[in-house]
Chains A and B, each alone.
Chain A
Amino acid sequence: MTVTVTKAETLPIRSGDDVVRVRQRVRALAIEIGLGLVDQTKIVTAASELARNTLDYGGGGDMRAEIVLAGMRKGLRLTFEDQGPGIADIEQALTDHYTSGGGLGLGLGGAKRLSNEFHIESTPGAGTRVTIARWK
């Protein structure tokens, strides 16, 4: 089914305060498409994990938020992109409790579980792009 983007915006992720702003914006957009409270909480939490990855491991980047329409279904699609060191072994990075930094290693795997769609592309030395979506 064709997916149409009905609204799009981009937010920078350069500091801890930006991570807070990402959460607030994702919450507002999730409400706008009519997600229930639990689904709102899930996508905001996933966004928080991914924004922190972008900041801590990617050296900063941005999030593109889109309200998408597939037939009658509305969804929220979020793309986190950085030009950082990239991830050499994505399978390993998705494993719970694997961490290359000081975190708990739940970020990527957790964000995947909290989303209806999850897609990751990474090129070592060039950067990482993670896309998640939650559908109403």
Chain B
Amino acid sequence: MDRIPILKLGGALIVTIQVDMHDRLALALEEDLTAMIARTGARGVLIEISALEIVDSFIGRMLVSIAAVSRVLDAETVVAGMRPAVAITLVELGLELTGIKTALNVERGMALIQARLSKDEEDGYGGDRDRHEG
């Protein structure tokens, strides 16, 4: 089965969704991301969706669920790059992306996550997050 690759960059995990998501792929991504957060101690998850032509309630629910699980594991989720037509449709559909931060593009999304990572360092618990790496 296909899987969506997850990249680790410092304390952040990055996923870019480039394919039309079918249900099994969405569920696999949720599982993989959760496992990866637990393994790496990542503090931020960036999901880039500029290639997604639609976000229906199924995909919306997946994003909300990823964000909720990530939060329990002390990581913050940012969804970046939503197409304007998708955003308009989501609002009319009535879907609220509860608990998800959104950013216009990857650059701004990374800035949000970076801000959290810097704050962690100031608070003095940034350094040993990679403890279970490998």
List residues 80-102 of chain B with CB under 8 A from any CB of chain A.
83-86, 88-89, 92-95
List residues 72-113 of chain A with CB under 8 A from any CB of chain B.
96, 103-104, 106-107, 109-110, 113
Bound-state CA distance A133–B53 (Å) is: 20
Contact B57 A107 (CB under 8 A): yes
Q: Which residues on B sit within 8 Å (CB–CB) of A114? A: 89, 92-93
Q: How many residues of A contact B (CB 8 A)?
A: 26
Could you give, for residues 31-53 of chain A, a 1 whenever the CB lies within 8 Å of some chain B CB and a 0 otherwise? 00000011011101100110010
Bound-state CA distance A109–B83 (Å) is: 23
Q: Which of A3-11, A15-23, A60-68 contacts B (4 or more CB under 8 A)?
A: A15-23
Known A41-B86, A41-B88, A41-B89; judge A110-B22 contact (CB<8 A). Answer: no
Q: A24 near B: Cβ within 8 Å?
A: yes
Q: Which residues on A sit within 8 Å (CB–CB) of B84? A: 38
Bound-state CA distance A38–B61 (Å) is: 22
By beta carbon, the residue of chain B nearest A104 is: B57
Contact A110 B57 (CB under 8 A): yes
Contact B56 A45 (CB under 8 A): yes
Contact A40 B85 (CB under 8 A): yes
Bound-state CA distance A96–B93 (Å) is: 10
Contact B85 A38 (CB under 8 A): yes
Could you give, for residues 58-84 of chain B, a 1 whenever the CB lies within 8 Å of some chain A CB and a 0 otherwise? 101100000000000000000000011
Bound-state CA distance A70–B130 (Å) is: 63
Q: How many residues of B contact A (CB 8 A)?
A: 22
Q: Which residues on A sit within 8 Å (CB–CB) of B123? A: none
By beta carbon, the residue of chain B nearest A48 is: B56
Contact A104 B89 (CB under 8 A): no
Give the top 5 A-B pairs by smallest Cβ distance, nearest first. A110-B93, A41-B85, A16-B23, A48-B56, A106-B57
Binding site for B on A (CB under 8 A): 16-17, 19-20, 23-24, 27, 37-38, 40-42, 44-45, 48-49, 52, 96, 103-104, 106-107, 109-110, 113-114
Pull 27 A–B residue pairs with CB atoms less than 8 Å apart, ordered by A: A16-B22, A19-B22, A20-B20, A23-B20, A23-B54, A24-B20, A27-B53, A40-B85, A41-B54, A41-B85, A41-B86, A41-B89, A42-B88, A42-B89, A44-B53, A44-B54, A45-B55, A45-B56, A45-B89, A48-B58, A103-B57, A103-B58, A103-B61, A104-B57, A104-B60, A106-B93, A113-B92
